Each structure stands twice: as C-alpha cells, then as structure tokens.
C-alpha cells in the first residue's frame, strides 16, 4: 500500500504537493469514490482517476528546457497562457511531465521537467542545496557593498537569505545598468528579484543559466533535450 499522492506523482500526474491539491479539491477518485483525505493509501489493483481520466504508471522521462519569456512554469494555467508543458506537447510527448520548481513568467533559462515525482521532490527540498546560477540585468550601477550584502544574505519577508555567490559581469554607465551573476541554492518565491530589490537594484531581466551541474549549452530558447542516462544518475546521487 502506498499513499495516494505518491502514486499519483510516480505516475506523472503532478508533483506530490500538486497531487495533494488535486485530492483536496475533489478531483481524484479511487474505485469510483471521490477521495479528499490526504494520506489515503491505495493498492496496485485500485483504479485511480483524475478528472475522470485513469492514471497509469509511465516510464520515467527527464527533459532540460530553455524556458523562453512569457511562458508559465506549470502543467496548467487557468488563464489559458502557454505553459512549459505545452512546449513539449507540441512535439507529441505523451508522458505527463511537470516542471521541477518554477521560473517566473518573464524569467528565462534552464528548467527541468519530469514525471519522476521522487526525484522532483528531492531536487526541490531545501536540504539538498542544489546550486542555481542566474544572470540579472539590474537598474543602477551596483556597488561592491551591495554585492557583499547579497553574498552574506539579506532580509526578505522577515527571514535572512542564505549566503550567495555574486560576480559583477559588466556595467553600462551611460544607461546606468549592471549585469550580475548570482548563485543561490534556495528557491523562495521571486527570491532573486527580491534579493536585488532589498539592496536597491530592481531586476529588469533575469535568466537562469545553470541548475546544479547542468547548463544550456546547445539548447536555444524554447528548445529542450532529453537528459542523458549519466546525467539522471548524477542528479539522483546529488
């Protein structure tokens, strides 16, 4: 017997957390009965449906996407906006994948998609401290003191962010903008943007260029590739 949300995640329906929301919303049935209680356990012989569609175990797949601007990091969007999953569906990929974490609507860069719920949960858990490197275009000529504050941690919503790595890549004195590379391993809502706001340099553009050991080499915006077996193995061993 396994918890219902775990079975759903492993079947590629959604992440475990998103599966819990589907359950409490009354969108899941087990053997024809609506189940809203979290922690419900199911057996292999049980018939599980989400919105009337039976789930089944799929082979695990893993993709690396270079997310373009104005695309939602979600499997569904109530406003009908294009999602990262739509990009894969355009090529008729049948597995029900979902993104590992998220990038903002206007943020570009590397994003992983999978139907392996266990790996997704592991990578998103704070204790594993997966490094994520961003390049931010910010308003103003950023000072060494501001970069130091980011490295030490700044207050965001009452909590201090973990130490970050920063590097000033370039400045444009005429336009009064700076290009800064920053590496963090947390993943709070709008974190990078809010960190720069906290030191007085609003973000104009944001791009995530690497996730752990993975980067976007050879992958153009809006394109993706399947992870190689050795990359999947390395992710699982992180």
pLDDT tens figures, 188-217: 888 999 999 999 999 999 999 999 999 999
Domains 2-54 and 62-126+216-236 share a fold: no
pLDDT of 17-76, one tens digit each?
889 999 999 999 999 999 999 989 998 788 999 999 888 766 889 999 999 999 999 888
Domain at 2-54, CATH from 3.20.20.80, 3.40.30.120, 3.20.20.110, 3.10.290.10 = 3.10.290.10
CA dihedral 156, 194, 103, 139 (to 10 degrees): -170
List 104, 116, 118, 172, catalytic entry: 104
pLDDT at 57: 65
Average of per-residue pLDDT values in the chain: 91
In sign, the C-alpha dihedral spanning 93, 7, 189, 236 is negative
Clarify whether 104 is annotated catalytic: yes
Q: How far is CA 212 from the centre of its chain?
A: 13
Query: What is the residue extent of each domain of the chain?
Result: 2-54, 62-126+216-236, 131-211
**According to CATH, what is the number of the domain 131-211?**
3.30.70.1560
Is pLDDT at 228 greater than 80 in this prediction? yes
Which pLDDT tens digit goes with each residue over 128-180?
Answer: 889 999 999 999 999 999 999 999 999 988 889 999 999 999 999 999 999 99
Name residue, tokens 């970050």: 164
- Was domain 62-126+216-236 assigned CATH 3.40.50.300? no
* Mean pLDDT to the nearest integer, 77-105: 87
Task: Indicate the pTM of the whole model.
Answer: 0.77
């Amino acid at each position: 017997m396994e918890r219902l949300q775990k079975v759903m995640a492993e079947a590629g329906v959604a992440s475990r957390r998103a599966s819990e929301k589907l359950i409490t919303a009354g969108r899941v049935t087990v053997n024809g009965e609506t189940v809203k209680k979290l922690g419900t356990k199911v057996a292999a012989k049980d018939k599980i449906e989400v919105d009337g569609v039976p789930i089944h175990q799929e082979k695990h797949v893993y993709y690396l996407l270079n997310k373009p601007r104005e695309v939602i990091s979600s499997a569904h969007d109530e406003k009908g906006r294009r999602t990262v999953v739509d990009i894969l569906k355009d090529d008729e990929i049948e597995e029900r994948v979902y993104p590992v974490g998220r990038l903002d609507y206007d943020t570009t860069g590397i994003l992983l998609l999978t139907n392996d719920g266990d790996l997704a949960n592991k990578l998103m858990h704070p204790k594993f401290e997966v490094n994520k490197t961003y390049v931010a275009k910010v308003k103003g000529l950023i000072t060494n003191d501001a970069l130091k504050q980011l490295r030490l941690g700044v207050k965001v919503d009452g909590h201090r962010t973990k130490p970050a790595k920063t590097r000033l890549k370039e400045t444009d004195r005429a336009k009064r903008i700076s290009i800064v590379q920053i590496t963090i391993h947390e993943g709070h809502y709008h974190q990078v943007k809010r960190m720069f706001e906290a030191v007085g340099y609003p973000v104009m553009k944001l791009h995530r260029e690497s996730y752990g050991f993975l980067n976007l080499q050879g992958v153009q915006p809006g394109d993706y590739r399947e992870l190689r077996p050795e990359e999947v193995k390395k992710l699982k061993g992180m």
